Amino acid sequence: MTFGLFWIPATLVAAAAQTARNAMQRSLTETLGTVGASQVRFLYGFPFAILFLGLVLAAGGGKPLPPTAAFLGFVCAGAVTQILATVLMLAAMRERSFAVTTAYIKTEPVQVAVFGLAVLGDTLTPMAVTAIVVATAGVVLMALKPGSLRGEGLGLRPAAFGVVAGAFFALSAIFFRGAILDLGEGSFVLRSTTTLVWSLGVQTAILMAWMAAFDRGALARSFQAWRPSLFAGFMGAFASQFWFIGFSLTSAANVRTLALVEVLFAQAVSRRLFAQSTTPREALGMALIVGGVVLLLWAH
């Protein structure tokens, strides 16, 4: 059986799960702060990642894969850049709407294409490049506000947070794909899940140490808010499981471009949970995103 196009449904599942996780983390920032809300994604997601790996091994996925030095280097680099990206994302969400912040972050596909070529040698077809440009243009259109070109209402700080978060998310995607490819042996599911366990383990250790040293109050509150944190952790691990499956099957640029459907999911969440309406300009931006995604799928 071939799994060549399985990255498509895997990416769609990951995008939907990530939207749910981001919405939950956004609500947690009010009580835990940005670092505390970031930490619950990893702390509460780590046990679920171990469970996922146990299920894969029990289902006949092979033996546990031993890490190499290169694998650990990729994992640590991906872990740190993803932590920084998550903190900046939540900081931006405190100042701009959920949907528009997601749009800022989704400048990521252009960045991930460049980083993927530079770090891993991942190449793209001309049609795929066009798809990335069209979809990203839709993201930029959604992010711009009336008067922003004259310097009015641009919101430079949240915009900067969002774009830099997108860069760090792009780098983390490249590093995690590098880790998955470095394992070499085993099924794509086993390699993906092994990478997930190691990455969440490293991230949990880093943030637990940081908060124990600099923000014990938020660490204590994260344990007190275990019910919503548990859901955020599960959705984070579940989303990452499918992101990594996508990375194991195709370039990170392909996965992250298709993942722009998350902007559409975020818009729906904004309307239902946060009472944030959609403007005609944002609707046009979403149409471009959909057009770019369709073009990407046509290219495959």
The alpha carbon of residue 102 and the mean position of all alpha carbons in its chain are separated, in whole angstroms, by 10
Give residue 38's pLDDT.
Answer: 74
The alpha carbon of residue 40 and the mean position of all alpha carbons in its chain are separated, in whole angstroms, by 15
Q: What are 31's two structure tokens? A: 């009580």
**What residues contact residue 160 under an 8 Å CB cut-off, 6+ apart?**
none
Identify the CA nearest to 121 among candidates 109, 133, 113.
Answer: 113
| Cα separation, 151 vs 292, whole angstroms | 29
| Cα separation, 299 vs 293, whole angstroms | 10
Contact in structure between 252 and 173 (CB atoms under 8 Å): yes
CA distances in angstroms from 3 to 10, 58, 197, 231, listed in the order given: 11, 21, 23, 30
Q: Which pLDDT tens digit goes with each residue over 278-290?
A: 677 777 877 787 7
CA distances in angstroms from 280 to 149, 271, 284, listed in the order given: 18, 14, 6
Identify the CA nearest to 92 among candidates 159, 28, 37, 142.
Answer: 159
3-state secondary structure of 135: helix
∠ CA 190-12-249, rounded to 5°: 40
Give residue 149's pLDDT.
Answer: 44
Q: Which residues of the chain have pLDDT under 50?
A: 1, 148-154
